[in-house]
A and B are shown apart, each in its own frame.
Chain A
Amino acid sequence: MTAEPLILIVDDDEGLRRSLQFLFASAGLESQSWDSAEAFLADLPAHGPTRPGALVLDCRMPGMGGLALLRLLGERGYPLPVVIITGHGDVRMAVEALKTGAYDFIEKPFREQHLLDTVEAAAGVSRDWLDRDARRRGVAERLARLNRREREVLERVLEGKANKVIAHELDLSIKTIEVYRAALMDKMQAGSVAELALLVALHREDAARG
């Protein structure tokens, strides 16, 4: 995953929106903007972002406000770090934003470097999230490739059972168990049982959350 980050901006003020895009462009950051939360949601890819990035969100907007959009993205588990821009001294809003899952908040008026640093940091987080997501997707795909016998063997291996015990339980020969075990380790691209356990744990955590 080496895609360039894309900064997403939602602000009802066109002048500010364009100036932010200009600022990001000067820092070599590609950006895209929407004038309302509703418009942004309409364009949002359902399966999540394909490029790392950050959402810069004005907290006060007509219609669906910034906070409402943040809440909605959180509920969907949408993997996009959100930087909320709040009014000067609006502590209540800042706290609310962080509680709702914002990556960070920036108080107006802000120093541009601070905004750029925050946005870039958020983009880094986004990249990690994308990487992990990709890994999760890999585990799921590998698990999907296992056949029924291989999944049964996997369960028992993860339970720490020896081949002999597994052969007994499945009423198969030890030789056969060893073949299945080698195949699933190969399919799961796991070098060791510990690594296998980590991959499956990652998947299960994901499944439990989703």
Chain B
Amino acid sequence: MFGFPRFVILWLALACAALSAPQAVAQIRVGVLAVQGESDATREFAPTIAHLNHALPGLDFVLVPLALDALSQAAATGAVDFLITNPGHYVALGSRLGVTRIATIERLDGADTSGRVGSTVITPARPGHPQGWPDLAGLRIAVTARDAFGGWQVALREMLDAAAPPRGPLVETGFPMTNVIEALRAGHADAGVLRACLLESLIASGLVAEGEFAVVAERDAGDLPCRLSSRLYPDWPFARLPAVDADLARQVAVALLTMPAAEGRRWAVPHDYGAVQELFRELRLGAFADMPHRRLVDYLRAHWHWFAGFALAVLWWAIHSARVEVLVRRRTAELTREMAERSRAEAEARQHREERDQYARLGILGEMASSIAHELNQPLGAITNYAEGLTRALDRGQPDPVFLRDGVRGIAGQADRAGAIIRRIRSFLRRREPQREALDLNEVARGPLSLFGAAAGRRGIALRFDPAPALPPVMGDRVEIEQVLLNLLQNALDASEDAPQGGEVRLSTAIDGDMVTMTLRDHGSGLSPQDATHIFDAFHTTKERGLGLGLPICRTIAESHGGQLWAEPQPDGLAMHFSLPAATAPKEAE
């Protein structure tokens, strides 16, 4: 409220005024606490300033209305020479800055001419109205302002002393103090705090009926002809700052005390403000900076609907957060479960795929069994021949060592060969993770071709290979590609077996755009239209003992490499095409 910028502007204004003022006329700045705004304060104390200027020619008294904080700042920085403020503020500044009172105001607007301040707490005179301080607990109390001295703080002290701190909300009505009366009449509050003697003044002027309000916690007012709820304190002081010349202070004091009453006020000899200091100690109020603990409670009570709204919002937010958290947690759990489920499903699928591949390899191996048996029989037969020959040579007596050595070496060589065949089959059957590498299809093709070369020959089938020159590499898994070729070769040889012209099976490689294509052309039995549409279906087979898994798996392999596998029926046989994407130049560069 009492903004720093406002003070700065004021201070600058004062500084400018000081600089521009002629040296002959010294400017004396009188700060005044503007409780109800600058204009009210100006109006209230304009007669005092006018009197001082009249009484002390050669001096230019200026009234500087300031809000509480700004006034404190102005006093602290010496921006004002004198100040008029409420007793509480004066006490606070007095102890801190050494401010000294030179006069105390006397109000002449009622029966009171004592220059003393007290509070009267009133309540509508209804049956069962509150009688003492404890009866006010929980009731709504109308006050002009929280920092009003006679309008609240004085009464508050009495409540605290009576161990009956206010628990109900404070209803701040603002000035003038008659607003408190209006609040009570409108039912906005249950009790109200008035400066002492205002009630009598209002009754006298006919604004309030004699029996309309009752006084709460009335006490003996001594010589004060007013009804009173609190102790009495001195009224607002006119104080000087320590920097002010003592002579000037004395002249001002004399001028004030000789000033005639104006606007219902006059200046009297300064009162003892010790009672005020005591009050402030009890209220634990330093320099009006701190609000008592109770104030916060009161504030909460006064604005309970805002707090309730805020609390509801907070509560809603908390519930919302909790709900969101629960949902997030639940969803996270679901996701975790789903992920676990998915990875489990993937693992299962992978296992199925591996098992299926394994069956397929076994199936291919089964279909290759006669070829393999033949492959193995060759070295075994050779070994038997050597063994028999050696036996004969030994039986004949005096064998030629060179001859015997030849036989034994022959056996060893054929045993190695048989072992190599077994290893090749095992490596083909072994489960393994696919490994992509740059492959030259011409080179990859030679393995399966060599495996089938002999078998093809024995069936009277010419197996030929037309490798394309300068074939770009492909990224692929060697074993999988070999598996596809073995499958295709086996099928081609099976189809060609009963071919009328014995047939030729020709494997060729070619570059087709950005694909590398292998084509296996046979002159065998070809495909019936029905088979042509089903050869890539699982478990569709034309072979007596086939599993019908070979080509489906081959197609899966081709597609997993980003390639294709398709059949192209020919008038005299079949062409199978197996395409793979060529490794791009950047990949090569890697």
Instruction: Contact check, A65 vs B460: say whether CB atoms are below 8 A apart.
Output: yes
Instruction: Contact check, B410 vs A18: say whether CB atoms are below 8 A apart.
Output: yes
A65 to chain B, nearest CB (A): 5
Bound CA span A60–B459, Å = 6
A12 to chain B, nearest CB (A): 6
Question: A63 with B462: in contact, given A112-B385, A112-B388 (CB under 8 Å)?
Answer: yes
Instruction: Contact check, B414 vs A19: say whether CB atoms are below 8 A apart.
Output: yes
List the A side residues contacting B380 at CB < 8 Å. Answer: 109
Which of B383, B384, B456 gathers the greatest number of chain A CB atoms within 10 Å?
B384
B390 to chain A, nearest CB (A): 7
**Number of residues of chain B lying within 8 A (CB) of chain A:** 34
Instruction: Contact check, A19 vs B462: say whether CB atoms are below 8 A apart.
Output: no
Determine whether A192 belongs to the interface, using a CB cutoff of 8 Å to chain B. Answer: no
Instruction: Contact check, B392 vs A27: say whether CB atoms are below 8 A apart.
Output: yes
B377 to chain A, nearest CB (A): 6
Bound CA span A81–B289, Å = 133
List the B side residues contacting A176 at CB < 8 Å. Answer: none
List the A side residues contacting B407 at CB < 8 Å. Answer: 22, 26
Determine whether B506 belongs to the interface, using a CB cutoff of 8 Å to chain A. Answer: no
Identify the closest chain A residue to B463 (Cβ): A62
List the B side residues contacting A179 at CB < 8 Å. Answer: none
Instruction: Contact check, B386 vs A23: say whether CB atoms are below 8 A apart.
Output: yes
Instruction: Contact check, B384 vs A18: say whether CB atoms are below 8 A apart.
Output: no
Instruction: Contact check, A23 vs B381: say whether CB atoms are below 8 A apart.
Output: no
A201 to chain B, nearest CB (A): 42
B408 to chain A, nearest CB (A): 10
Identify the closest chain B residue to A18 (Cβ): B410
A172-193: contact bitstring with B at CB < 8 Å (1 yes, 0 no)? 0000000000000000000000
Determine whether A149 belongs to the interface, using a CB cutoff of 8 Å to chain B. Answer: no
A5-45: contact bitstring with B at CB < 8 Å (1 yes, 0 no)? 00000001101101110110111000000000000000000
Instruction: Contact check, B457 vs A19: say whether CB atoms are below 8 A apart.
Output: no
Within 8 A of A (CB), among B222-262: none
Within 8 A of B (CB), among A142-190: none
Determine whether B54 belongs to the interface, using a CB cutoff of 8 Å to chain A. Answer: no
List the A side residues contacting B413 at CB < 8 Å. Answer: 15
List the B side residues contacting A22 at CB < 8 Å. Answer: 385-386, 389, 406-407, 410
Determine whether B576 belongs to the interface, using a CB cutoff of 8 Å to chain A. Answer: no
Instruction: Contact check, B392 vs A13: say whether CB atoms are below 8 A apart.
Output: no
Which of B381, B390, B456 has a CB less than 8 Å from the CB of A109? B381
List the B side residues contacting A62 at CB < 8 Å. Answer: 453-454, 456-458, 462-463
Which of B377, B459, B463 has a CB less than 8 Å from the CB of A108? B377
Which of B417, B459, B460, B462 has a CB less than 8 Å from the CB of A15? B417
Instruction: Contact check, A61 vs B377: say whether CB atoms are below 8 A apart.
Output: no
Instruction: Contact check, A15 vs B392: say whether CB atoms are below 8 A apart.
Output: no
Question: A60 with B460: in contact, given A16-B378, A19-B382 (CB under 8 Å)?
Answer: yes
Instruction: Contact check, A15 vs B393: say whether CB atoms are below 8 A apart.
Output: no
Which of B381, B388, B396 has a CB less than 8 Å from the CB of A16? B381
Within 8 A of A (CB), among B357-380: 374, 377-380
Which of B378, B413, B463 gathers the greatest number of chain A CB atoms within 10 Å?
B378
Which of A13, A23, A108 has a CB less than 8 Å from the CB of B388? A23
Chain B interface main SS type: helix
Bound CA span A88–B380, Å = 14
Instruction: Contact check, B390 vs A15: say whether CB atoms are below 8 A apart.
Output: no
List the B side residues contacting A23 at CB < 8 Å. Answer: 385-386, 388-389, 392
A94 to chain B, nearest CB (A): 15
List the B side residues contacting A12 at CB < 8 Å. Answer: 454, 457
B216 to chain A, nearest CB (A): 128
List the B side residues contacting A68 at CB < 8 Å. Answer: 460
Bound CA span A25–B399, Å = 12
B356 to chain A, nearest CB (A): 32
Determine whether A87 belongs to the interface, using a CB cutoff of 8 Å to chain B. Answer: yes
Instruction: Contact check, A16 vs B458: say whether CB atoms are below 8 A apart.
Output: no
Which of A12, A15, A88 gathers the greatest number of chain B CB atoms within 10 Å?
A15
Determine whether B403 belongs to the interface, using a CB cutoff of 8 Å to chain A. Answer: yes
Instruction: Contact check, B390 vs A26: say whether CB atoms are below 8 A apart.
Output: yes
A9 to chain B, nearest CB (A): 11
List the A side residues contacting B454 at CB < 8 Å. Answer: 12-13, 62
Identify the closest chain A residue to B394 (Cβ): A26
Which of B382, B414, B462 gathers the greatest number of chain A CB atoms within 10 Å?
B382
List the A side residues contacting B383 at CB < 8 Å. Answer: 19
Question: A60 with B458: in contact, given A13-B378, A25-B403, A26-B390 (CB under 8 Å)?
Answer: yes
A3 to chain B, nearest CB (A): 23
Bound CA span A164–B529, Å = 85
List the B side residues contacting A60 at CB < 8 Å. Answer: 457-460
Within 8 A of A (CB), among B451-476: 453-454, 456-460, 462-463
B168 to chain A, nearest CB (A): 115
B410 to chain A, nearest CB (A): 6
List the B side residues contacting A108 at CB < 8 Å. Answer: 377, 381
Instruction: Contact check, A112 vs B384: say whether CB atoms are below 8 A apart.
Output: yes
Which of A62, A65, A109 gathers the greatest number of chain B CB atoms within 10 Å?
A62
List the A side residues contacting B456 at CB < 8 Å. Answer: 62
Identify the closest chain A residue to B378 (Cβ): A13
List the A side residues contacting B388 at CB < 8 Å. Answer: 23, 26, 112-113
Which of B384, B403, B413, B460 gathers the greatest number of chain A CB atoms within 10 Å?
B460
Which of B386, B459, B460 has a CB less than 8 Å from the CB of A19? B386
Instruction: Contact check, B377 vs A109: say whether CB atoms are below 8 A apart.
Output: yes
Instruction: Contact check, A15 vs B377: say whether CB atoms are below 8 A apart.
Output: no
The 9 closest A-B pairs by CB, nearest first: A62-B457, A60-B458, A19-B385, A112-B388, A26-B389, A19-B382, A26-B392, A23-B389, A15-B382
Contacts beyond the supplied A18-B382, A18-B410: 17 A-B pairs with Cβ under 8 Å: A12-B457, A13-B378, A15-B410, A16-B381, A19-B384, A19-B385, A19-B386, A20-B385, A22-B385, A22-B410, A27-B392, A60-B457, A62-B453, A62-B454, A65-B460, A68-B460, A112-B388
Which residues of B are in contact with A by a Cβ distance under 8 Å? 374, 377-386, 388-393, 396, 403, 406-407, 410, 413-414, 417, 453-454, 456-460, 462-463
A-B contacts, 12 of them at CB < 8 A, read A12-B454, A15-B378, A19-B383, A19-B384, A19-B414, A26-B407, A60-B458, A61-B458, A62-B457, A62-B458, A62-B462, A88-B377
Which residues of A are in contact with B by a Cβ distance under 8 Å? 12-13, 15-16, 18-20, 22-23, 25-27, 60-63, 65, 68, 87-88, 108-109, 112-113
